[in-house]
Each structure stands twice: as structure tokens, then as C-alpha cells.
Amino acid sequence: MYGGLRAKGEKPDLALVTCDVDARAAGVFTTNMVAAAPVLYCKKALDESKMARAVLINAGQANAATGDAGYQDVLECADTLAMILKLKREEVLIESTGVIGQRIRKQALLNALPKLVSSATPSTEGALSAAVAITTTDLVSKSVAIESQVGGTNIQVGGMAKGSGMIHPSMATILGVITTDALVKSDVWRKMVQFAVNRSFNQITVDGDTSTNDTVIALASGLSGSTSISSINCDEAVQLQACLDAAAVYGRNPNWGDIAAAAGYAGVPFHQNNLRIMLGDILLMHNGQPLAFDSELKRHLRLELVTILGRLVRPMAA
């Protein structure tokens, strides 16, 4: 929704993600030494608690390089939202994006919180609206939702992210929220999220800058009733990790680099110059060299069944 943090008449600037139960929480953050106030707050909250129930995201002001005053703004916003939702402060996480050096328009945000909470809805429309609200210079909003199985039980994984400029490895200048109803032990969930971020956001570069606000927060509610994932190496963990990895395909994102990365950690020794990748009947990589692709590739991604083929032209001897 629009809360008055952006200039009047612009697009929505507030988004809220909530969970009906205590969710296992994981976070990955910027390595920039000038970490924003909400980053410092979230890192402390996740150090103190393995659970979270809400993520508040604002656009307009980054609340970075704002000193103690900016940090106090975060605490007041977290306290107010926690009071409205009847939660503890540490169960509320906050992400901010916008102009660095500007504090949050705190009073506008605080005034908007009751309406934001009352208007929250578990619908596709609500999810799409939230994905728009967190964007800044993005040309399009970015969100995805997929269904799969873990241990024979249907589970869902959803996510939204923003990022356009200042994109660089080490978090890629991303704000993101990932949710799933799979049941995962807290320590395992945190390892899985870190692994997924390393293979995705930590491999993107556009202009060589790393932001002060990079944050990916992931919540796992366990409401699906799936088998509890208690080890990073168990079959269920492999299935859930595949769901996170599959988001690029189901999001209609022709980033075959993820496929190459998956081949690289599959445990089969090979030289990358021998790798050949196809999506359907379209050749994307040959002899380790990327090939140009067009709209025909996206047509394949709209199919219900997507066939991905990776082949080693000359495998290395064992």
C-alpha cells in the first residue's frame, strides 16, 4: 500500500509479510561495512531468536548511514508493528530500500501501519501488490510461487525480490523475502538459505556496487505437515533445496547459469569447457560457451513440463 514514504502520487511503498505461527527464520545480509540500520536490527534479532512472524518492507528511504537516530527509528517501527500484531519485537523483521543517507519517514510509516495490517490478505493480488511496493528503480516487479513435494507431502515456496542498480556479487543489492510451509529445523533452514543465496544473488553483477541494505529473509512455517527436515543431507532437504533452485524456471527466468552452477557442484569431475546445456530443443551453451537466445526460449519456460539437458562433451577421466 501507499504510506507516504515515496513522493505523493507514486506507487505503493509499504509491504507486509506475516505468518500465523512462529516460523523458522533465516537471513543473509550485506557485507558492506556501512550496513543500514534495518540490517543491523535484523541481524541482532535473528541472533537472539530462531523464529519470526512478520517482515515489514518499506521503499523510499534506505535508512542507511543514518547513525543512532536511524537505528532508533527501526526499533520504534518494530515495536509499533509488534504491538498491533500482538508479537514480541524480535518476531518482527524490517527491510528498507531507497535513498541512502535518508532516515525513514517514521511518522508516515507509523500512521500507515494499522491500515497495512488490516488490509493484509493471503491472496495472489496481495502478493503481487507487495512485490510492486518494494521496488525502486526496477522496471518490473519480481515474484514467484511454486508447489512441490517433500517426503510425499505437498509444500509451497514463494518469494519476492527487488533489485536493479548497484548489483554486484555478495548479495547483489537485493531485498528479498522467501516463505515456505515446509517443516525444517532452524539450523538446517539457515544453511539452506545461505546456500541458495550463494548460488543466486551472490553471483550477479551489473555495475560493481554492493549496497548497504542487501537483505534476504526466509520464513519456514511448517504448516504443510511435511516430514521434518532435520539434516542438510537428508532426502527431504535435497527436495526442498531443489524447490528453491527451481524458482528461476517457474519464474520464467531464462537464467541457465543456475543450471551450469548445479552441474558444477553435482560431484562429477569435468572441465567447464566441455559443458553443453539445452532447454527443450534450444541450445544455450556449447563447449562451455554461452549462446544467444531469443523469445523462443521464454516460450519453452511457459510450458508445464520443461526439459533441461546438461551433457559433458568429453568427461574427465576418474
Helix/strand number for the chain, H first, E second? 8, 11
Annotated ligand binding at 162? The verdict is: yes
* CA torsion through residues 168, 252, 136, 56, sign: negative
What separation in angstroms does the CA of 92 have from each of 71, 153, 157, 273?
Answer: 15, 29, 20, 47
Annotated ligand binding at 173? The verdict is: yes
| Residue 173 appears among annotated catalytic residues | yes
What separation in angstroms does the CA of 274 have from each of 232, 270, 308, 311?
Answer: 30, 7, 17, 8
Q: Sheet holding 175-180: strands in order across?
A: 92-99, 51-61, 14-29, 215-220, 175-180, 153-162, 142-150
Query: Which of the 8 DSSP states describes residue 137?
Result: S
Annotated ligand binding at 44? The verdict is: no
Catalytic residue among 30, 66, 173, 180: 173
Q: Which residues are annotated as a binding site?
A: 136, 162, 173
- Residues annotated as part of the active site: 173
Q: Which residues are annotated as a binding site for substrate?
A: 136, 162, 173
